[in-house]
Amino acid sequence: MAIREIGDNALFSRTRSAPRTHPARNAWRRVPRARCVARLFLDVFNVIDRVTLADRIEDLLPQTQCTKCGYDGCRPYAEAVARGEANYNQCPPGGAQGIARLAALLGKPVIALNPGNGEERARPLAVIDETLCIGCTLCMQACPVDAIVGAPKLMHTVVAELCTGCDLCVPPCPVDCIAMVPVTGQRTGWDAWSQTQADAARMRHDLRTARLARERQASEARAAARRAEAAASAAACAAQPTEQDEAAKKRAIIQAAMERARQKKEALAAQGIAPKNVENVTADVQAQIDAAEARRQRLAPPREDRDDEPNGPATPSEP
């Protein structure tokens, strides 16, 4: 197929129809035709041999996505086999026939299934006891092909045509209402599964993976937006003083003004200058003066070296 695609006629069919002054036509004239064909063939062959080996291995896997091979899905397992990091006998759903297929592709002998990964068995079907289901959605989150339908706090059910029998929905169920029921009798491995079913399961798994990636990106975007909003709100709060800060600022201004008035009064008293017009002060004005003085005493910070008595510091009493 690759040789026909890069054959002589296909390679130069485009350049022959180009004008004589076309740069592509002139470029091909300067390069020997046989050398171009050989180089392109080697490049395509190397790319196919290096890139699509994992694809060819994946095409031979049953696509149940059961993770019994020790990897998160059939694709990671295929890539590990292609790199030589995993053996080709670790897929219980594929069974002996699946191992034979992989061995033929890889040019290796047929070996037995690794018992550490499980045993070949009839394909099971997940069945939910709907009378016990509590609608926790944990089985829905675990299903790799979205074969379980339902809603939170409502009954769930398994779509039998979509279930791959992977067993992944059983462990997370908190009420143990899921049973794996064999549905293929004595048929195991690929005899209990078809390539059409495998292709459909792979498509559903890919769609689910893409959906989860979109949901994860959307969740991360929302979280980033919330963090940005919180940072902007914190910056705005830091830039604008709060009501408590305003009240503290006002108290500081009042205390500073009262302290200046006290110092001025003491300075005048030291010079022998007494307040004027104190004889005709009415009772209401005197009450206001007394209230202001009491407020000053209450708001003024304590001072050990000062006494508010009009005649100076008091003399310590004799013991």
For the stretch 25-34, pLDDT in tens is 444 445 455 5
- Altogether, the residues listed in the chain come to a count of 319
SS3 141: helix
The whole-angstrom distance between residue 169's C-alpha and the CA centroid of its chain comes to 23
Q: What is the pLDDT of residue 245?
A: 75
Q: Is pLDDT at 8 greater than 60 in this prediction? A: no
**What angle is formed at CA 147 by the lines to CA 98 and CA 215, rounded to 5 degrees?**
110
Looking from the CA of 28 toward its CB, the CA atoms found within 13 Å total: 19
Spell out where the chain has E strands. 124-128, 148-149, 157-158, 178-182
3-state secondary structure of 128: strand
In the chain, where the domains are located:
2-51, 55-117, 124-193
Instruction: Tell me which architecture the domain covering 124-193 has in CATH.
Output: 2-Layer Sandwich (3.30)
Whether the CB-CB separation of 92 and 141 falls below 8 Å is answered with no
pLDDT at 194: 94
**What gap in Å lies between CA 100 and CA 231, rounded to an integer?**
59
10 Å Cβ neighbour count for 193?
24
- Report the chain's mean pLDDT, rounded to a whole number: 81
Return the structure tokens found at 157: 């059910």
**Is the CB of residue 89 less than 8 Å from the CB of residue 111?**
yes
Pairing type for strands 148-149 and 124-128 reads unpaired
Q: Which residues of 18-36 are buried (b: 16+ CB within 10 A; e: fewer)?
A: eeeeeeebeebeeeeeeee
Kindly report, residue by residue over 185-213, the tens digit of the pLDDT: 999 999 999 999 999 999 999 999 999 99
Three-state secondary-structure class, residue 178: strand
What CATH number does the domain located at 55-117 have? 1.10.15.40
pLDDT tens digits, 229-277: 999 888 877 766 666 777 888 888 888 888 888 888 888 878 877 666 6
**What residues does 181 pair with on adjacent strands?**
125
